[in-house]
A and B are shown apart, each in its own frame.
Chain A
Amino acid sequence: MKRWLGCAVMALVVAGCGKGASKEKGPQPPGGFAGEVLVYARGADSKKLDPQAIEDGESVNVVTQIFDTLVAFEAKGTKVEPALATSWTSSPDGMTWTFKLRTGVKFHDGTAFDAAAVKSNFDRYLQPAHPLRAGLTETPYDFLYKNISKVETPSGDTVVFTLTEGNATFLTNMAMFPACISSPAAIAKHKEAYGQNPVGTGPFRFVSWEPTQKIVLEANVEYWGGSPKTKKVIYAVIAENSVRVQRLRAGEVHIIDGVPPGELDSIRADSSCRLLLEPGMNFSYLAINCEKAPFDRPEVRQAIAMAIDKKELLKLAYRGIGQTGPNALPPTIWGYNDKVADYPFDPVKAKAAIAAAGIAGKEIDFYVMPNPRAYVPDPASVGAVVKQRLEAIGLKPRIVSPVWEGGVYLGELKQGKHDIALVGWITDNGDPDNFLFTLFHSTAIPEQNHAHWKSKAFDTLVVQAQKEPVQAKRAEFYGLAQEVMRGETPVVPLAYLPNIAAIRANVEGYALHPMGLVRLKDAFAKK
């Protein structure tokens, strides 16, 4: 016993001797790094880092630093610009796309990036029997790329994609994370474990991963787009929102996301931190079940729209951040029709409409998700405020909150169990199609069309827009589609929220992207 105690005391004495780790020197960019380590803290860990196998934001966030796509979204918007491809052309019918690739680029494992690597990646993604497919059972976003029928490589720096049908969103989809290019050699080497050993061409290379704790990346000084400014990036997990804020304010981390609305004022008041707020590309809305009486009648749905005081809702349930509007896509997306007028808040008229429809006192199931989502940080408050407003016009809403996880909540909406449901959406590719077609085309019933709404006029317009290659013409179709929606009112858009992050005051070169993309290449914590 005494010997043990002695050992413990010795250990503590030795432990008290202070830090002695030496600073390792790796490759440096000309002029050196502007910052050493940048710690980015978020609420959950990434699940996998294989771009084709992921859908959770935390994985996408890290993958974006390690990989490149052929084309990329511009720094502050949704326009695409060259990345691994330096130029591209499409055939007049939009069925064939030819990309000229950047030469001299290497993957982090030293193998060469070329047309064969691009083909390998897309073949692996779209062919279930592909030899590189080991362990890749789920590819959650492959539906966006199913229209690719063939990938050819006429030369080492040229790739040709042939589509089954022309689709104007093809190019923006090529800028999304599932289209990131992995090293085929690394996929073959790591097989099922590739998701834990990602190898790309991006600004940072993967170093290590301590699950639920941190992911470490280091700068790829030979990056074709110029070396990152920080030597190392650490993605840290701090699950509890307020603790994350606390540890930012204590200086333990440099950037945090998922800032709870209740903490905005405390961050604003702290001179050691800065709050970043930029309009986002998301919206939350009430989906009214158009297949279920009495909501199959447009006048009843319009009464619901008139019953909600959106300004009050924004103030009470969204802490006053964000904005409201009449359309089922946010104003940051091109194609937003700002001529569509929102229904005025008119409870008297709404109540009269409900009475005239003979449904005063009717009990309805109002679905409200139990957990916060990025587009609705406090669903319980939204539910409470909306419920009160629906009661004021003579309905008797019952709040139903099945669990979100495992697809239970959305599963019940697919079955059409709801009368009204609180839902939302964040853009995948910054295209209006990703809101209007994905969420409201009749073929999206029952998957994403939670209003179970069918409109031939609307369907025709969004499909025409999908096939039209000229953006200005597409915008016209989408403008008309929004007018059809306003008339039929299958949904009541509630709020468009900004993207929020908080950083230490000494962090430079970090800006929020409207699509919520995180780019750390130019970010650093000033020494």
Chain B
Amino acid sequence: MRAFLLRRFALAVPTLLGVSFLVFALAHVGGDPARAIAGEKAPAETVERIRHEYGLDRPVVVQYASYMGGLARGNFGRSSQTKRLVAEDLKRHFPATVELATAALLLAALFGMAAGVLAALRPGSFVDLAVMSLSLVGVSIPVFFLGMLALVAFKGMLPGGGRLDFMTDFTADRTGFVVLDALLSSRAEVAREALLHLLLPACALATIPMAVIARLTRASMLETLSSDYVRTARAKGLPVMAVALRHALRNALIPIVTAIGLQYGTLLSGAVLTETVFSWPGIGRYVVESIKGKDFIAMQGAILVIATAFVLVNLLVDALYGRLDPRISHA
């Protein structure tokens, strides 16, 4: 197992290097970063001066090497748009995305798996039909539209966006997770407020993964429920639910865990639309804003963090296989 993990870690390095080079190269296609920094109204000589000061007149490979050299020393650089340290921005935005993605995934996994199991136990029943239809709607409905609907429906009842009310005076400066930081600072009312703020965006963001998980759980469970050992267990007189949850579900879990892992990776890359509708200060919006401003130092740092998160989540999923099914060996 340890050898497997080390091997996967070693493979992650060229993957991340590849990502970093690709992003760096893409940042230089279309548009002029020097013009973006100088501003629309700046005269041409100012643009040229900035190109020189930022080193943008050097060959791309040299710029890349210099950036990677900084990164090796833990220096993500400064955003050209805001002059803030990119590392500090990422410390603020990435936890916001992790908090939202985790809440959404918990909802999706819990309700998706429950719905899938219920549907699989009575195939063709009303419950099955309802789960399948709703999950089809869930997969198809645009998150943006759903978010707007939720805002209108819960106007005045639930907060319409952000991690906290605008008037709340609290900064999540310990872990970056507002709920956790509020509890650590004994600010229970802030934690409660943060949970309420999470509710609508997490529900909106959970719809697609929930629908995917429900459909996958149903399919996987149906296959497992028709196996011999399940029939034997039932013949021995074990209750339906015990067989379904204790025996069948565990074996049906492998494709579901894979799906959950992939969904989590996607959610961690920032749900731009949900973040926009609900004014969530996540990494997705950060990337979009930096692309819009040709702020490629900020963009590069954010995409590297996202790519690393994606690789780690996949690694975790691979490691989980062995726990779920001892027959799988990573040797």
**Chain A contact residues, CB within 8 Å of chain B:** 11-12, 14-21, 37, 39, 44, 47-48, 53, 55, 135, 137-143, 192-193, 195-196, 208, 210-214, 234, 236-240, 242-243, 246-247, 249-253, 403, 405-408, 410-411, 447-448
A237: chain B residues within 8 A (beta carbon): 279
B83 engages A411 (CB within 8 Å): no
Closest to B93 in A: A212
Q: Quick one: which of A192, A240, A411 has the most chain B CB within 10 A?
A: A240
Can you list 10 A-B pairs, Cβ within 8 angstroms, ordered by A? Answer: A139-B46, A192-B83, A212-B289, A213-B163, A240-B276, A243-B151, A246-B152, A247-B161, A405-B292, A406-B32
- How far is A25 from B88 in the complex, measured between Cα atoms in Å? 31
A239 engages B83 (CB within 8 Å): no
Closest to A192 in B: B83
A242: chain B residues within 8 A (beta carbon): 148
Closest to B37 in A: A138
**Provided the pairs A192-B78, A211-B84 are in contact, do residues A405 and B36 lie with their beta carbons within 8 angstroms?**
yes
A408: chain B residues within 8 A (beta carbon): 30-32
Q: Quick one: which of A252, A411, A447 has the most chain B CB within 10 A?
A: A252
B155 engages A17 (CB within 8 Å): no
In this assembly, does B167 line the interface, its C-beta being within 8 Å of a C-beta of chain A? yes
A140 engages B41 (CB within 8 Å): yes
A195: chain B residues within 8 A (beta carbon): 82-83
B160: chain A residues within 8 A (beta carbon): 243, 246-247, 250, 252
- How far is A317 from B50 in the complex, measured between Cα atoms in Å? 38
B151: chain A residues within 8 A (beta carbon): 243, 246
- Determine how close the nearest CB of chain A comes to the CB of B69; give it in whole angstroms: 20
Q: Quick one: which of A193, A196, A250 has the most chain B CB within 10 A?
A: A250
Choose one: B83, B159, B277, B289; the contact of A193 (CB below 8 Å): B83
B189 engages A17 (CB within 8 Å): yes
What is the number of residues of chain B that contact chain A, defined by CB distance less than 8 Å? 60
A140 engages B38 (CB within 8 Å): yes
- How far is A47 from B259 in the complex, measured between Cα atoms in Å? 39
A246: chain B residues within 8 A (beta carbon): 148, 151-152, 155, 160
A410: chain B residues within 8 A (beta carbon): 40
Choose one: A19, A135, A213; the contact of B279 (CB below 8 Å): A213
- How far is A39 from B279 in the complex, measured between Cα atoms in Å? 15
- How far is A135 from B78 in the complex, measured between Cα atoms in Å? 10
**Provided the pairs A16-B192, A247-B161 are in contact, do residues A407 and B32 lie with their beta carbons within 8 angstroms?**
yes
B277 engages A11 (CB within 8 Å): no
- Residue interface bits B152-193, CB-to-A below 8 A is 1, else 0: 100110011111011111010000000000010000110110
Q: Quick one: which of A192, A247, A249 has the most chain B CB within 10 A?
A: A247
B92: chain A residues within 8 A (beta carbon): 210-211
